[in-house]
Structure 1
Amino acid sequence: MSKNLDKKKFRNMTHEERLQFIKVNTSLDDNEIDLFRNTSVFKFSNIDGMIENAIGIFPLPIGIANNFVINNKEYLVPMAIEEPSVIAAASNAAKIASKGGGFMAQADDSIMIGQIQLIPNSSYDQPKVQNLIELISNNKIDIISLANTKSKFAKCLDIKIKQVNDESINKLGQMIIIEIMVDTKDAMGANVVNTMCEAIAPEIEALTGCKVVLKILSNYATQRLVKCRGIFPTELIGGEEILKRILFAYSLAFTDVHRAVTHNKGIMNGIDSVAIATGQDFRAIEAGCHAYACRDGQYRSLTKWYQNSKGDLVGEIEIPMAVGIIGGITNTHPIVKACLKLMNISNSQELATIIAASGLAQNFSAIRALSNEGIQKGHMKLHSKNIAIIAGATNDKIEMVSRKMVEERNVSVSRAKEILESLKEN
């Protein structure tokens, strides 16, 4: 590496200089370095503008889950995920649900919460803190008006004020939290809510004579819930015995935290894969959903399963869902734009219903498999193709090796290599 490169900060290097830096300072060979040169549909300049210290793209497979009928409308649902069984499982669940009328879903308006943390002076007693709360409340209209000067599309609707005490090990005392309620329309809303919070923070400090510390949105979108319900006819899920076993599986997920975590992970397989394909902040969605799972003090299942009066299985999901179809990478990522377009959706609420239905469908398939033959049979059947590829199979040999391993119920790299060798001999 040249001395010139040694003096450069990594962020100031060209793409090729960054790759050469990695080559010299790591154990990657030329073929591995070359993987980062393939930037797919992007020019490197686009990637470099999206994140700091960019070197390339990390691709995920995108597939289509079909058979989805939500609120009487048919959808093709794009999913970006590396796990082989998810798309097939979601498609199969959606097909069964369609026989029961499809999924019915509704999403709240796009209300996001922004928080301003106000620290009263240490000498303030409870009556004085209450006076501060009243002072802010009396000036609520002016504060809302100031917030609304910062956006042409989003609208601050209301302000709520609460007092909290520090329960951490530091015991720092009382805090006043001013929460703004913002209708972010078809955007997820993080940027506009943060902008509003930062705009009104100095006004609140001037009004109260106290200090503002944090001023940021909350990803716990409890004012932006989505609900989805599906009916799964008993004769299509394997009969009454399977239905009862599914109810027992749900009972464990509702009652026991160790089961609930894995149960909800399966739900997030469906939710995250659609969120990633459509350019959503899936980490924010994850955080909000998991917080909602323990809203009564214990971490529980995000879904509810029961038998209706006709004897069929009913599944329900209710979760916070902050998503957008404008803003962020939905405007710049070509694959994200294509995925949103192929779903033919008109607003962020519609996207929220699709994501919720995907989570519910995935959960059904998982607990049905667990309640019947176990998760591994179907999972390994699909995973067998990956094993065949790892063993060196190509083209039509992939399917041949995969099918043989599944028939033998022996899905392993060593067995795949043996089958592959026998095919070469023939």
Structure 2
Amino acid sequence: MEDLQKRNDGQKQKVDKPAARTSRFPGFYKLDIWERLDKLGEWFPLTTKEKWLLKNETLKAEKADLMVENVIGVFGMPLAVALNFRINDKDWVIPMAVEETSIVAACGHIAKLVRENGSLTANASHAIMEGQVQLVKVPDIDRAVKDILEAKDRLLKLANKQDRTLVSLGGGAKDLTCRRLETASGPMLIIHLAVDVVDAMGANAVNTMVETLGPVLGEIAKGEVVLQIISNLCDKAIARARFEMDPACLGSKEMSGARVAERIIQAYHFADADPYRAATHNKGIMNGVDAVLLATGNDWRAVEAGMHAYAARTGRYRSLSSYRLENGKLIGEIEVPVAVGVVGGVTKLHPGVELILRLMGMPSRRELAEVIASVGLIQNLGALRALVTEGIQEGHMTLHARNVAYSAGAFGDAAIKVADQMIQEGRIRFDRARELVKKLIIQKQPEDGNGED
């Protein structure tokens, strides 16, 4: 909790943002990597060393060896920024670590449409995480619940002794509840400890608290303690995002914006009614969510698990987002549990994560949760718009063709030529790319031979 204390003391290096600063960087995609880094310098002052770090090596093997076991190297991922985001009237440059084609471009494009034709807002609740203690073989569950609740104040004080720094910052254990659970192993007593983790993800703090309380709870209930662990279904740490926009801007050459909006709503209704579609629909949301989580050093596995569980909270797996038309405007909304942290953990070990958070302006946990929900919603809108108009493959085509060309052995201008030819033919396949690469090599050989003579 030392990092949390420093943050609270105002040592988090907040970046002063001029009122006129914008996340709109027209033509950013046309620049090379160094030029993009220079352009980012207009948003956030980057030193030459920091630019080199972002471009070349944000994590060294020696640092990685401190993070996990049996390290043999560092596995790279493309690190990009999504532009054009304006959330709650504040501009954001949003880092995304992701390998899938078109995600970043679609996200930035839809964010631009929303900012120019509507608005994007978000809000997140306090960071309340819950730990669970599982008790079995409790002889009288009703009596045990009564005795535990009578001891609540004493139990909360004991939990809070485990992390005095967190308590000094306004966080700590806030509540304790009990519930009877019928299972195949018989009835169980499950105790939930609610902890305000402030700007941390809170897993270590919560786990320490429930492991301390477990034996005491077992003694009070006269039962056996089995598990003492945090829950990743953090339904008391909810983030919501909402956009409202004129649907006219969503139109294509073949379809009006109003018709596109109508089809987006129909696609949403499909996902909300059918778990097979909902799984892919929500995966589209995760395309944006996971990329931001990974770039900011957060546990994307925990957040994904929580979001998918939340999608099934009614007893049926459903869409995490919703869409409707209201007064001629297309409205999209999302409500998701988001357990993230901006202090401790990887943020302390990974120099790239620390730099990325500074690039974002050192957001609070609540701000980062709002950004993540917003990115998930905007990414989802982009995917639905593509699906109900030209189809998902059209948007992927150019970058996918280049990836195939690279895989076939083409580089630089040759890769672009091969990709363009495959797109023109409508045959984006590895075998076709190999044929085109061989043709380019044959065409080049006489030139090389003439040069030698």
For normalisation by structure 2, the TM-score amounts to 0.80
1:410 aligns with 2:427: yes
Aligned to 2:278: 260
Aligned to 1:109: 126
Aligned to 1:183: 196
Secondary structure class of the residue paired with 1:314: strand
1:208 aligns with 2:221: yes
Aligned to 1:389: 406
**Amino acid aligned to 1:316:** E
Aligned to 1:61: 78
Deviation at 1:258, TM superposition (A): 0.9
- Whole-angstrom distance in 1 between the partners of 2:116 and 2:364: 27
Alignment partner of 2:149 out of 129, 137, 146: 137
- Whole-angstrom distance in 2 between the partners of 1:266 and 1:299: 15
Question: Could you tell me whether the CA contact under 8 Å between 1:197 and 1:216 is conserved in 2?
Answer: yes
**Amino acid aligned to 1:352:** A
Deviation at 1:190, TM superposition (A): 0.6
Deviation at 1:209, TM superposition (A): 2.8
Matches within 5 A, 1:220-369: 220-238=233-251, 239-309=257-327, 311-369=328-386
- Whole-angstrom distance in 1 between the partners of 2:58 and 2:72: 15
CA deviation map 1:4-63 (0-9, x unaligned): xxxxxxxxxxxxxxxxxxxxxxxxxxxxxxxxxxx9444433222211112111211111
Secondary structure class of the residue paired with 1:331: helix
**Once structures 1 and 2 are overlaid, which stretch shifts more, 95-104 or 289-298?**
95-104
- Whole-angstrom distance in 2 between the partners of 1:352 and 1:55: 33
Deviation at 1:257, TM superposition (A): 1.1
1:195 aligns with 2:195: no
RMSD: 1.6
- Whole-angstrom distance in 1 between the partners of 2:338 and 2:361: 19
CA deviation map 1:109-150 (0-9, x unaligned): 0000011112244xx2xxx32111110000000000000011
Percent of aligned positions that are identical: 42
Aligned to 2:447: none
Q: Cα–Cα, structure 1 residues 47 and 335, in superposed 2: closer, same or farther, change >3 Å? A: same
Question: Could you tell me whether the CA contact under 8 Å between 1:69 and 1:103 is conserved in 2?
Answer: yes
- Whole-angstrom distance in 2 between the partners of 1:113 and 1:321: 13
CA deviation map 1:75-122 (0-9, x unaligned): 11111111011111111111111123431000010000011112244x
Aligned to 2:160: 148
Question: Could you tell me whether the CA contact under 8 Å between 1:100 and 1:230 is conserved in 2?
Answer: no
**Amino acid aligned to 2:258:** E
CA deviation map 1:177-219 (0-9, x unaligned): 1111100000011110000001111222333332211111100
Secondary structure class of the residue paired with 2:434: helix
Question: Could you tell me whether the CA contact under 8 Å between 2:141 and 2:221 is conserved in 1?
Answer: no
State the number of aligned residues.
Answer: 378
Aligned to 1:21: none
Deviation at 1:173, TM superposition (A): 1.7
**Amino acid aligned to 1:81:** V
Deviation at 1:289, TM superposition (A): 0.6
Q: Cα–Cα, structure 1 residues 173 and 198, in superposed 2: closer, same or farther, change >3 Å? A: same
Aligned to 1:26: none
Secondary structure class of the residue paired with 2:95: strand
Deviation at 1:315, TM superposition (A): 0.8
Secondary structure class of the residue paired with 1:103: strand
Secondary structure class of the residue paired with 1:187: coil
Matches within 5 A, 1:19-168: 40-121=57-138, 124=139, 128-151=140-163, 152-153=165-166, 154-166=171-183, 168=184
Q: Cα–Cα, structure 1 residues 293 and 384, in superposed 2: closer, same or farther, change >3 Å? A: same
Question: Could you tell me whether the CA contact under 8 Å between 1:120 and 1:129 is conserved in 2?
Answer: no
Aligned to 2:39: none
**Once structures 1 and 2 are overlaid, which stretch shifts more, 240-249 or 316-325?**
240-249
- Whole-angstrom distance in 2 between the partners of 1:229 and 1:53: 43
**Amino acid aligned to 2:161:** T
1:372 aligns with 2:389: yes
Question: Could you tell me whether the CA contact under 8 Å between 2:404 and 2:433 is conserved in 1?
Answer: yes
Q: Cα–Cα, structure 1 residues 240 and 43, in superposed 2: closer, same or farther, change >3 Å? A: closer
5+ residue gaps in structure 2? 1-55, 252-256, 445-453
Secondary structure class of the residue paired with 2:431: helix
**Once structures 1 and 2 are overlaid, which stretch shifts more, 42-51 or 140-149?**
42-51
Question: Could you tell me whether the CA contact under 8 Å between 1:345 and 1:351 is conserved in 2?
Answer: no
Q: Cα–Cα, structure 1 residues 345 and 233, in superposed 2: closer, same or farther, change >3 Å? A: farther
- Whole-angstrom distance in 1 between the partners of 2:245 and 2:267: 16
Deviation at 1:422, TM superposition (A): 4.3
Secondary structure class of the residue paired with 2:75: coil
Question: Could you tell me whether the CA contact under 8 Å between 1:68 and 1:102 is conserved in 2?
Answer: no
**Amino acid aligned to 1:59:** G
Question: Could you tell me whether the CA contact under 8 Å between 1:94 and 1:102 is conserved in 2?
Answer: no
**Amino acid aligned to 1:240:** A
